[in-house]
Chains A and B, each alone.
Chain A
Amino acid sequence: MLEQFGNFLVHGLVTGSMYAAVALGLTLTYGILGILNFAHGEMLMVGAYIAFVLTSRLGVNFLVAAVISMLAVGLLGWVIERTTFRFARHEHLNGLVISLGLVAILQNIALAIWGADPLSIPPPLPRTLEVWGIRIGEQRLLAFGLTVGLIILFSLFLKRTRLGKGIRATAQNAHVAATLGIRTERVVAVTFSLAAALAGLVGALIATIYTITPFMGGLPAMKGFVVMILGGLGSVGGSILAGFLVGVVESFGGGMISSIFKDGFGFVALILILIFRPWGLFGQRPEREDV
């Protein structure tokens, strides 16, 4: 029983770390562009395919490939922001439709190049560890470690560096930030590119655990949105914690109540929590209750 409990917890945390990384990117994009970016999942997908080509076709070491995917997807994010989203900033519905257009384009380009058959990257660490009855693949631990490390680096970057502070200031109030001398235009592009890069890396890591298809981005993006709202808009820490929370809730719910309903437990948690905290777990509470 205790072992089972431990297994659910560990696997939930591993999935949760991915959710957290995706939600972190989404919450930054939303904070700075005011757009629900449905194409964020496609950044994962592109990252996964780049890592696949580098490792399986060109024989590059997996870690190197993951870093290259991250950089390449970051660059792609930059190009996308400069060519599309910059024209629809804070027009949330227009931005949403633009992101849907990007989804259609990116998915079908991937489909044209690699086809619909699922591909996979052989995990560089194929063994399974067993500690106190808890069984977990080494590859999952590696993915967990890398994701958590990156999340920590990213949070430190936002808190400590000049650019990070600029990003947070622009997210809070772009006009005031601009009058204070922050080059908000550049900040927006950098933020979008960073969020994409984060997704690219997660994509490369996911590719060693699950399969790669042109449509693999849909589910993580949806989960990312749920996590972002659960954590509270604008709260980086909230997104991270909510990511782990949703991962663990799904793992326990799927393991102990119903495995087919696994994806539903996160949604139920979101609905219940929003009834009591309409601004999410750590979001900015409105100064006065409107209604």
Chain B
Amino acid sequence: MARRSWQALPLVGLLAAGVLYPRLLPGDYFLHLGIVVSLYIILTSSLNLIMGITGQFAIAHAAFYGVGAYGSILLVTRLGVPYWWAWAAGILLAGIAALIIGASTLHLKGAYLAICTFAFSELFRLLLDNWISLTNGANGIIIRFVPPPIGIPGLFRFDLGSRRSYYYLMFTFALVTVWFVRRLARSDLGRVLGAIRQDETLALTAGFDTRRYKLLAFTVGSMYAGLAGATYAPYLSYIAPDLFDVNETIYIMMIMMIGGIRSIWGPVWGSILLVSLPQALDITPLLRMIAYGLVLILVMIRMPDGLAGFLDRLVSRLRPGGTWFGEKA
């Protein structure tokens, strides 16, 4: 019993940090940073489920993020669907797209899977760019509505007119995503996914229909990306095809790697570092990008397990066997 309550501690810590953050660092600018960090926590944690835990090298995550964003926004602006219904539909659409793409690509391995999903992702961008009557092409869509408030009466309420509410909403979803991925990784299902990563043939021989498990992880992970898109788009108030192209997937992947792949908390560390680092390096943009590149290379060479793995190694020197920062799944 005591063990169980200890296990919730990191999540409580994240919750406390998220609630205290706007009090410690007030102002719209820091709220904006908090929203972007939360966005990337959702995107990287869900990619971690697909790529880190299940080991499927699929690079189309930003496309599902885009399906969620475009799907929900188009339903609102073209068909007049109420936002929160459109929001749910956007997530569902991302799931359906993932089912179709996953079913036709997940039999591929390694670089084959990577490049084939990349091809799908680029086709999606080309579709957004060229189906001008629906998507307004490369010019994108300006979003003029504010999502109606949502909440449980008497308990809590997100009034999305203010940036502060938006921050709490995004942060709540980030917390839910981390909780979900952590819960899943520790479940029996998570163990099967880990087995598929380590030796798919063995998992198959043990009687698991690996194809269905891979498809499940891919679809669920992609639906979280859809959620990120559907929730973030009205805040951004503008969406365009190149926000969801393969470069965005690569950026998400990069955050996951710098934070620490396969670690539950890696995505959190990575998102905090990579969103705030460019802001913190107060130099000309050119030098900043060069420094950024150097940091990427150095981290990947000196800390191959990312920040989470590095912090864990520091801790385990003090207290052998402890994984305080990483929690390898």
- Chain A residues in contact with chain B, CB under 8 A? 30, 36, 38, 84, 87-88, 91-98, 100-105, 107-109, 111-112, 222, 225-226, 228-229, 233, 260-261, 263-264, 267-268, 270-271, 274-275, 278-280, 290-291
**In the complex, which residues of chain B have a beta carbon less than 8 angstroms from the beta carbon of A280?**
112
Q: Do residues B294 and A105 form an inter-chain contact, with CB atoms below 8 A? A: yes
Across the interface, name the chain B residue whose C-beta is closest to A105: B293
Interface 1/0 per residue, B37-49 and A, CB below 8 Å: 0000000000000
Consensus secondary structure, chain B interface? helix
**In the complex, which residues of chain B have a beta carbon less than 8 angstroms from the beta carbon of A275?**
104
Q: Do residues A84 and B297 form an inter-chain contact, with CB atoms below 8 A? A: yes
Interchain CB contact (< 8 A) of B119 among A94, A108, A109, A270 = A270
The minimal Cβ–Cβ distance linking B304 to chain A, given in whole angstroms, is 5
CA distance A107 to B304 in the complex (A): 24
Q: Do residues A229 and B123 form an inter-chain contact, with CB atoms below 8 A? A: no
CA distance A36 to B116 in the complex (A): 14
- Chain B residues in contact with chain A, CB under 8 A? 51, 57, 104-105, 107-112, 114-116, 118-120, 122-123, 126, 129-130, 200-201, 204, 210-211, 246, 250, 253-254, 257-258, 261, 286-287, 289-290, 292-297, 300-301, 304
CA distance A94 to B104 in the complex (A): 27
CA distance A97 to B111 in the complex (A): 15
Q: Which of A87, A92, A103, A105 gathers most chain B CB within 10 Å?
A: A105
**In the complex, which residues of chain B have a beta carbon less than 8 angstroms from the beta carbon of A104?**
289-290, 292-293, 296
Q: Do residues B107 and A278 form an inter-chain contact, with CB atoms below 8 A? A: yes
CA distance A109 to B282 in the complex (A): 18
Q: How many A-B residue pairs have CB under 8 A?
A: 129
CA distance A36 to B249 in the complex (A): 15
Q: Do residues B112 and A233 form an inter-chain contact, with CB atoms below 8 A? A: yes
11 contacts between A and B (CB under 8 A): A84-B297, A94-B257, A94-B300, A97-B296, A100-B250, A100-B254, A101-B296, A101-B297, A108-B286, A112-B286, A274-B112
Q: Which of A103, A109, A225, A274 gathers most chain B CB within 10 Å?
A: A274
Q: Which of A101, A233, A267, A280 gathers most chain B CB within 10 Å?
A: A101
Q: Do residues A98 and B115 form an inter-chain contact, with CB atoms below 8 A? A: no
Supposing A93-B261, A263-B126, A275-B104 touch, asked if A84 and B204 sit within 8 A by C-beta, the answer is no
**In the complex, which residues of chain A have a beta carbon less than 8 angstroms from the beta carbon of B296?**
97-98, 100-101, 104
Across the interface, name the chain A residue whose C-beta is closest to B129: A260
